[in-house]
A and B are shown apart, each in its own frame.
Chain A
Amino acid sequence: MNRKYEIGFVINPEANEEEIKKIIDSIVEIIKKANGTIENIDEWGRRRLAYTVKKHNEGFYVFINVEAIGSTFVEIERRLKLHEKVMRFVVLRLDDKLKKANRLTRKWKRIERMSKRNVESEPDDEIINDDDDGKED
């Protein structure tokens, strides 16, 4: 079963372009060995961090969308954890969350129906306003 995952990590700003390429290529190799597919690689480049991490104010952001077997990500996580130049990383599974989120489409349809009913019953507002003015007195 191939599953959709998202990998994101922040690389130390002191790293060269070669070192950044090496890290990305090492992940790509692992995925290709497991017959996975890479959907896209998103490089944000150098960005200011919201707070200092290991005395650095900047970081190199990379995000990769992958479709592969779940067991390959154990190895990717281990690599990222051991790598010195990787400051932070997140590995997320997306497909199961998308399934849950598909429930929302039913809910939205219901809300659309309700909103149409409420528009029809607008004139009720005036009557209710009159009632409450009387009670305040």
Chain B
Amino acid sequence: MKNNQVPQENTSPGKFPKKFYFSRRKYCTFCKDKIKLIDYKNYKVLENFILETGKILPARVTGTCNFHQKQLSKAIKRSRHMALLKFIEPKRG
């Protein structure tokens, strides 16, 4: 029960959560470059947001904002349709 009490003390006093300072903060790379529309033709950029198997990486891993993540998932799906990116492949070995 003592272990349960400790984290409550951590969270209560500060207005901003203290974890903010400890984890290196992720940022949206599209907001940083000030890109408004994500283009499905620009497949080299989209490759950074998929795994080797072709899966789309979640926003909590990459740090993209909600607005851009929605666009990104659509852009990846369009470029898959146009055979610029591959569809999901099962892992080998």
Question: Is there an interface contact between A125 and B41, defined as CB atoms closer than 8 Å?
Answer: no
Q: Does B18 reach chain A (CB closer than 8 Å)?
A: yes
Give A14 to B14 CA distance when docked, in angstroms.
67
Q: Does B60 reach chain A (CB closer than 8 Å)?
A: no
Report how many residues on chain B are interfacial, defined by Cβ distance under 8 Å. Answer: 22
For chain A, which range describes its interface: under 10, 10 to 19, 20 to 34, or 35 or more residues? 20 to 34
Question: Is there an interface contact between A10 and B36, defined as CB atoms closer than 8 Å?
Answer: no
Give A94 to B40 CA distance when docked, in angstroms.
12
Mostly, the B contact residues are loop
Could you write out 19 A-B pairs with CB less than 8 Å apart? A8-B82, A10-B82, A49-B83, A50-B84, A50-B85, A51-B83, A53-B83, A61-B82, A88-B81, A90-B78, A90-B82, A94-B37, A98-B36, A108-B31, A111-B31, A125-B21, A128-B14, A128-B21, A135-B9
| Residues of chain B whose beta carbon lies under 8 Å from any beta carbon of chain A | 6, 9-10, 14, 18, 21, 31, 34, 36-37, 40-41, 67, 78, 80-87
Since A50-B86, A90-B81, A132-B10 are in contact, a sample of 18 more A-B pairs with Cβ atoms closer than 8 Å, ordered by chain A residue number, is: A10-B82, A10-B83, A49-B83, A50-B83, A50-B84, A59-B83, A88-B83, A90-B82, A92-B78, A101-B36, A101-B37, A102-B36, A104-B31, A104-B67, A108-B31, A125-B21, A128-B18, A135-B6
